[in-house]
Amino acid sequence: MARQITDELDVLLGVFPERIKKALETPQREQLLEVVLDLGRPPEARYPDSFVYLAEEPVTREELAQVVQMIGEFGSDNRAGIERTLHRISALKNRRGEIIGLTCRVGRAVSGTIDIIADIIKEGRSLLLLGKPGVGKTTMLREIAKELAESKRVVIVDTSNEIGGDGDIPHPGIGRARRLQVPRHDLQYQVMIEAVENHMPEVVVIDEIGNSFEADAARTIAERGVMLIGTAHGITLKNLISNPTLVDLVGGVQSVTLGDEEARRRGTQKSILERKQEPTFETVIEIIDRNTLAIIKNIGEAVDTLLKGGSAYQEIRKREEDGQIIVEEKEQSLPRRTRTIRNIYPYGVSRNKVLDAIDEVKAPLVVVRNIKDADLILTLKSQYNKLPQEIRESETRGLPVKVIRSNTTIQVQNAVREIAPSAKDEDDEILSVMIQNGEKVLERFKKQ
């Protein structure tokens, strides 16, 4: 099926001042991603691989006010739209709440993106779409909703009006699907439950499941036998397993202590990780780019295999330029620990309780006061759900985060037991240091 794109670009250009509108009338307009208007700076157009200034004169307050007057009202998330389009306008505000900048993102309804997974959609299994921002998750979600609505009762929970567009009448891109708007982002989980209780859907579509409340609501919906189609924060299944807030979407992970005999039989350590329950979603689709997908058809088996240190099979599907779809298989495994954890940084957890737990367990660990010296952050679930800047930046650097539910002595002690390096880890580290020292000595001899 050939791709068809509906962008209603003329409607978006119509809200801009005349000088900006004329500057955008170029052959590049079909590739336009967004227009940035910041007070006191030249207006800017952004494209997939470049940006251009649209004028030398800076944007004025009057021009910002003109654009704001032409669009819908801004919500609590500082986003607005244009009636019955998919365009999104986000505001930058100063401390007094005055708008001093606008990011005007072009919204496009693209059809012909789901032919690559048509067989999976027909199976009626709950699907979770993953991928980096801008890779096309919402576009695919919209077309899946439209396709399923031809034969099923579909309800979309539309948090920021990105799926169904702005205004009370939804965009034609969602077909016969019905749409529930979310008044505030923090109330999305309530609207998810409302969709099931009030409107008897066979399919519920959710964009961006981002916290534990929404993950719990998704599980409640799945347990009522409703098909779920959703997206979540994460690029791969491995990311989701490592995310304590959203791991319940794929069954959750719990630490289990085995007896000596069972550990010997399995050939593992006494403390292992196991899947806690059945996954909320049945199939994961990792969107690598707009023409390449990695599909994991049985999430439960894949998570079990990954937690045991094995490799889960993915089905890689690629759409060639001529429309032909190539299918191949690939393995995915969880990254193994590459360094022994010694230094812990408690974030929102009692420092004294961590020190007492280390003494009680006799673990070779140190509590540090500077996050830059840490090998791991230990924090509470309530703190992690807020995603503070220190934790976001640390995760970006690859620093692991251990999350516990409460600040009790037992919880902290259990966490310390799991974090502490095993005897094998210590032996491996000593051996690694000895080998490195030996290599340095040999290098000195060679230079003499």
Mean pLDDT by 10 residues, the chain (448 residues): 77 94 90 94 92 94 94 86 90 94 91 90 94 86 95 93 89 94 90 95 93 92 94 85 87 80 70 86 92 92 86 88 84 55 88 91 88 88 80 72 87 86 49 50 56
pLDDT of residue 425: 46
How buried is 158 (Cβ within 10 angstroms: 0-12 exposed, 13-18 middle, 19+ buried)? buried
pLDDT of residue 268: 67
Nearest to 210 by CA among 274, 130, 298, 147: 130
Q: What does the alpha-carbon distance between residue 72 and residue 170 come to, in Å, rounded to a whole number?
A: 14
pLDDT of residue 251: 92
For residue 115, the tally of other CB atoms under 10 A from its CB is 16
pLDDT of residue 427: 45
The ranges of the chain annotated as CATH 3.40.50.300 are 112-333
The listed CATH number (3.40.50.1820, 3.40.50.300, 3.40.640.10, 3.40.50.720) that belongs to domain 112-333: 3.40.50.300
Nearest to 138 by CA among 105, 90, 169: 105
Q: What does the alpha-carbon distance between residue 17 and residue 35 come to, in Å, rounded to a whole number?
A: 12
So what CATH class is 343-424?
alpha beta
Nearest to 39 by CA among 99, 100, 98: 100
Q: What's the number of CA atoms in the CB half-sphere (13 Å) around residue 14?
A: 10
pLDDT of residue 414: 87
How buried is 246 (Cβ within 10 angstroms: 0-12 exposed, 13-18 middle, 19+ buried)? buried
| Pairing verdict, β 292-296 and 34-38 | unpaired
> pTM for the whole thing?
0.71
pLDDT of residue 338: 45
Q: Answer yes or no: CATH 3.30.450.90 is held by domain 4-105.
A: yes
pLDDT of residue 1: 55
The ranges of the chain annotated as CATH 3.30.450.90 are 4-105
